Structure formats: C-alpha cells, structure tokens
C-alpha cells in the first residue's frame, strides 16, 4: 500500500435477498477498523458500503415475499443500514444500486466500454447469444467443466449453487483479449493488487488457464439497469454492481472533485467467494472504460458456525444483533478480528467468544485498567501522578507501549498479507501482558507504605501504558476505548496515532473510574 494522504475503502455491496448475518458484518467490520485507523493516522478517508439490489436473485426473493422488487429492496436495504448503525460502522456513504446516480454511472461505464477497443484492437462489446449454465444464487455463468452432478441428479456450481440452462440473446465483453494485460498487471504493474498471497496465486493461475468472453446482458427478465440504446437488454448484475464503487465518488463525472480525490480506490475488501469478479472482470471493465483500476483487493476467509457451514437451510445463521445483545458490541468486534487470522477461514463458537470476552477483555485489559485507576483514585490524589526518574523496568514497558503506533501501522498496512488485524491485536496484548507482569512485580500497593515517590512513578508508567494501548485499540473498539481515554483524562485532540508519544500530563485531574468490560456470566450466574 502506498503512503497517501487519502484513503478510499469499500465493502462489497450486499444482496438484499436476505437478512444480514455475521459474514456480512465481518466484511464491513474489517473495513471500519481500517477506515478508523486511517483517519486516526492522519488520512482523509472515504468509506463506502451499500446494497446490491438488481438481478434475478433479488427479483425472485421479492416475488417470494409477494412484493414489487422496489418495495422489497426498500425494506431489506433498511436492515443493512440498521446493521451498520448497530455495528458502529463509520461509513461515509451508503449506496443503493437502485439510486438514479448509480443507473447513470452504470449506463455511463457501458457506453465507455462499448466505444473502446480491446488490447487486440477489436470492439470490447459485441452482440451474440448465450447458451450455457447460470447460477442465480451466485449470479454467475459457469462452464460445463466446472460443474458437478449431485446424488439428486442436479448440476451444481463449485459454490454448491444450483445451475440452470440459459439460452438468450446477449451482449458479450471481450474478456479473452484482456488476458495478457491482466497477467502483466498482476505480475509487473501492480504486484500488490491481490491479497493475501495465496489468493493472488490462485487468480494468476486461473487467468493463465485462459479467459472466455463474458456475457454482460440478459434478455429474459427485467429487474436491472437497461443497456443504453438497447432497452430489451438488462445489464449483467455484476457489471452494474461493481460499478457502485465508482458511482459513489462521482463517476461518470471523472472531473468531479470526489473522483479526483478518491479514485483509484485504495482497497476493495471482499470475501474469498467473490475474488474473481473483483480481480479479473472489474479491472478489465475499468481499463476498457479508460479508468484506472483499484490499488488493491483483499479477500478474507469464511466463517462457519460451531463447525458447520452457515446457511439458511441449516437454520444456523448467526444474527449479529443478537450477538451484540448477548456480549456487547466491542467484545463482538474484538472477537471477530482476534479469533481468526485475517484471510483464513474461521469457526464461530460461543465458548470461544466468552473465552475472549472474559479472558482478554475483562481480565487482562479491563481488570488492569480498573485496578490501576481505582488505586490512583483512592491512594494517589485522583490526578495523574508525578513520576520520578524511570528505572529500567519502567523504560522497558514504556518503550514497548510507545512503539505501538508503528507496530500496529505495520501490521495493518505493510506486506503481501496486510491487513493482519489479528497480529495488530496480538501486539497490543503483548503490551497488556507485560503491564500485568509489571504491576504484579512492582506492587504499587506495597510501595504505598514504603516509598510513595516510587509508587507514583510506577502508577504513571502504568497509566501511560494504558493510554498507548487505548489509542492503538480505538479502531477496533471505539466506544470502550473512548471511555478508557476519558478515564485517563486524555483530551479529544490527543487521541491520534501521532499523539501516541505525547505523554500524560502530571497533575491532570482524573474522573472516577468505572469498569469497561463486564464479565459475561452464564445462565447460572458463573
């Protein structure tokens, strides 16, 4: 990732055929943490999320609900907005693909692609007929050779989605002519384009295997963006959907200030299931339209629930709102990014959730803060203590705490597998663990009777460590860390990553502390 003063980050836009679940919450949470980090690190940020409302999948869901597609999408899109509020996402915009600004942008990109030539000098769009397999659930076309036949005799896509045979007039995008260009883009022009490294390798070998032209319009249904000058054709929902990222910053008006400021997008965060659309089709569409491709696409893994695939038919969908109610918002945010190495698949279990909440949060961090702050309140005059000269043990802890800005920045932005949220959190917890060992060893409660000057130094070092930890954790747990920084009397303008090495001012009056992370008790109250 390059160092720039601005940062544009997007979530995928969510299909509105269904209620939001933990997988949706996860993609946007990762974006939110990065967006908050980038703002605290001095960048101007645009963070976009929204809903993908066209296509057969949504049309069918609306019919099933007995509603007109537009009424249905109005209703379901609202659930995704509610999720964004409940998860405390700091998104700057929420786009819906049914908005006029987006219809205009989608038709604009179509026209730009249609009037350009492929790298081999041929028209990028041509009219033909599609005869082949289509999976409505994935809104994707498949080759016969990619399919398997199940025991029920039905053909299925690699994702498990049922496919149907489609025969209809269709426009095609000349994707096959973009193969060399794409390979050059991944391997030479922008080696950071795809993360993590494993996904990058998969995409490169897929493209090396050869690309077929892509059907980009449908004529057998109506719920979508009409193709300019060919209203019997509806744009392929993925071409429409991908364009949302450009719509939101002003496309097709490429001279708009928002477009000039934020395009090309710095990061599209996606799940591993939709990598091909974002790393093969999207950069080719954009180049054909004469627009620079995004800087990076990162694919995270998938969650299972207590070892099982999450699916509506298995009845094991995890509702993020229910989790927040049971465990609290910030513990849920922390758990999702701490439990599983980002980029890999992970399993959700209530036991692991409670373990993290009671262990890492209530015990390690919450208890440390509560012990130190209530001790200062009762025994050190309720203001920031004045330290004497620091001993080596104090300096060692403070050095580790003050390095957090740099360390967290590194894990979130540097290397082929960045962002590595779990590593950033591990690094913060190494400091929390060191502070717990330090408080036990230095025993300020004993110093109260023997050496109050030394006690003040130790308490100061602990509060300084808590300040650095709280600043570093703000992107992950904004509400609780704001509370902790309030309790440390850190002014609002001294909470950025740049302010991490600005020390606490001795003598600052402290408010009465209160616990940040209550333990989770089971039904028996344990």
Residues that bind ligand MSP (CB under 6 A): 12-15, 23-24, 26-27, 52, 241-242, 270-271, 273-274, 302-303, 310
Is the Cβ of residue 103 or residue 373 nearer to ligand MSP in the bound state? 103
Minimum separation from the CB atom of position 315 to ligand MSP (A):
14
Q: Sign of the C-alpha dihedral, residues 27, 28, 31, 36?
A: negative
Q: Are 339 and 352 in contact (CB under 8 A)?
A: yes
Is the Cβ of residue 317 or residue 489 nearer to ligand MSP in the bound state? 317
Is the Cβ of residue 278 or residue 467 nearer to ligand MSP in the bound state? 278
Minimum separation from the CB atom of position 193 to ligand MSP (A):
17
Is the Cβ of residue 12 or residue 513 nearer to ligand MSP in the bound state? 12
| Spatial distance between the Cα atoms of 131 and 168, rounded to a whole number of angstroms | 7
Distances (CA, A) of 98 to 95, 109, 244, 306, 386: 9, 16, 10, 36, 60
The secondary structure element, H or E, covering residue 478 is helix 478-487
Distances (CA, A) of 457 to 257, 385, 477: 51, 7, 28
Q: Are 455 and 448 in contact (CB under 8 A)?
A: yes
| Spatial distance between the Cα atoms of 364 and 90, rounded to a whole number of angstroms | 27
Is the Cβ of residue 316 or residue 367 nearer to ligand MSP in the bound state? 316
Q: Which residue is nearest to ligand MSP (CB)?
A: 271
Minimum separation from the CB atom of position 242 to ligand MSP (A):
5
Is the Cβ of residue 245 or residue 476 nearer to ligand MSP in the bound state? 245
Which residues have C-beta within 8 Å of that of residue 505, sequence separation ≥ 6? 384
R_g of the chain computed on alpha carbons: 26
Is the Cβ of residue 270 or residue 488 nearer to ligand MSP in the bound state? 270
Nearest to 518 by CA among 367, 349, 344: 367
Minimum separation from the CB atom of position 52 to ligand MSP (A):
3
Q: Sign of the C-alpha dihedral, residues 466, 469, 473, 474?
A: positive
Which residues have C-beta within 8 Å of that of residue 517, sequence separation ≥ 6? 328, 330, 331, 357, 361, 362, 365, 366, 480
Minimum separation from the CB atom of position 342 to ligand MSP (A):
11
DSSP states of 265-323 as a string?
PSEEEEEGGGHHIIIIIHHHHHHHTT-PPPS-EEEE--EEETTEE--TTTT-PPPHHHH
Q: What is the largest CA-CA distance in the chain?
A: 89
Is the Cβ of residue 172 or residue 342 nearer to ligand MSP in the bound state? 342
Using CB atoms within 10 A of its CB, is residue 315 exposed (0-12), middle (13-18) or buried (19+)? exposed
Is the Cβ of residue 274 or residue 407 nearer to ligand MSP in the bound state? 274
Burial state string for 168-192 with b = 16 or more CB within 10 A and e = fewer than 16: eebbbbbbebbbebbeebbeeebeb
Is the Cβ of residue 242 or residue 288 nearer to ligand MSP in the bound state? 242
Minimum separation from the CB atom of position 520 to ligand MSP (A):
23
| Spatial distance between the Cα atoms of 374 and 376, rounded to a whole number of angstroms | 5
Minimum separation from the CB atom of position 101 to ligand MSP (A):
16
Minimum separation from the CB atom of position 425 to ligand MSP (A):
18
Minimum separation from the CB atom of position 106 to ligand MSP (A):
12
Minimum separation from the CB atom of position 213 to ligand MSP (A):
21
| Spatial distance between the Cα atoms of 218 and 409, rounded to a whole number of angstroms | 45
């Amino acid at each position: 990732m390059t160092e720039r003063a601005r940062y544009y980050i997007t979530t995928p836009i969510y299909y509105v055929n269904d209620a939001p679940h933990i997988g949706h919450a996860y993609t946007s949470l990762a974006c939110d943490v990065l967006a908050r980090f980038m703002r605290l690190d001095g960048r101007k940020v645009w963070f976009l999320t929204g809903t993908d409302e066209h296509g057969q999948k949504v049309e069918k869901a609306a019919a099933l609900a007995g509603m007109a597609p537009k009424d249905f999408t109005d209703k379901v899109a609202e659930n995704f907005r509610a999720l964004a509020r409940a998860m405390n996402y700091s998104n700057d915009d929420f786009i819906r693909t049914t908005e006029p600004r987006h219809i205009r942008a989608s038709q604009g990109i179509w026209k730009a692609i249609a009037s350009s030539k492929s790298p081999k000098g041929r028209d990028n769009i041509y009219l033909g007929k599609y005869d082949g397999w289509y999976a409505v659930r994935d809104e994707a076309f498949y080759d016969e050779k990619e399919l398997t036949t199940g025991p029920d005799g039905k053909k299925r896509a690699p994702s498990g989605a049922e496919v149907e045979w489609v025969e209809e007039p269709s426009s095609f995008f000349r994707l096959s002519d973009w193969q060399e260009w794409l390979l050059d883009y991944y391997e030479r022009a922008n080696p950071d384009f795809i993360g993590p490294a494993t996904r990058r390798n998969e995409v490169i070998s897929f493209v090396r295997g050869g690309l077929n032209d892509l059907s980009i319009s449908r004529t057998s249904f109506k719920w979508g963006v009409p193709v300019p000058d060919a209203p019997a054709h509806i744009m392929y929902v993925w071409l429409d959907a991908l364009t949302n990222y450009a719509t939101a910053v002003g496309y097709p008006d490429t001279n708009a200030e928002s477009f000039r400021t934020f395009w090309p997008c710095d990061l599209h965060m996606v799940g591993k299931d939709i990598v091909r659309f974002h790393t093969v089709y999207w950069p080719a569409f954009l180049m054909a339209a004469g627009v620079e491709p995004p800087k990076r696409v990162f694919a995270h893994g998938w969650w299972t629930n207590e070892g099982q695939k999450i699916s509506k038919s298995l009845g094991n969908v995890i509702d993020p709102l229910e989790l927040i109610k049971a465990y609290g918002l910030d513990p849920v945010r922390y758990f999702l990014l701490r439990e599983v190495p980002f980029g890999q698949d992970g399993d959700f279990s209530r036991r692991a959730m409670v373990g993290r909440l009671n262990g890492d949060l209530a015990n390690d961090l919450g208890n440390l803060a509560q012990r130190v702050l209530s001790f200062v309140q009762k025994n050190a005059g309720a203001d920031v203590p004045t330290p004497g000269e620091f001993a080596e043990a104090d300096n060692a802890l403070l050095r580790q705490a003050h390095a957090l800005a740099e360390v967290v920045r590194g894990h979130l932005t540097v290397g082929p597998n960045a962002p590595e949220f779990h590593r950033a959190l591990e690094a913060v917890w190494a400091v929390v663990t060191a502070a717990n060992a330090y408080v036990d060893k230095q025993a300020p409660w004993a110093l109260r009777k023997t050496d109050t000057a030394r006690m003040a130094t130790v308490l100061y070092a602990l509060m300084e460590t808590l300040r650095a930890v709280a600043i570093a954790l703000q992107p992950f747990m904004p509400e609780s860390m704001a509370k902790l920084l309030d309790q440390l009397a850190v002014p609002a303008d001294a909470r950025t990553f740049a302010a991490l090495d600005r020390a606490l001012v001795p003598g600052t009056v402290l408010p009465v502390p209160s616990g940040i992370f209550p333990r989770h008790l089971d039904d028996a109250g344990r």
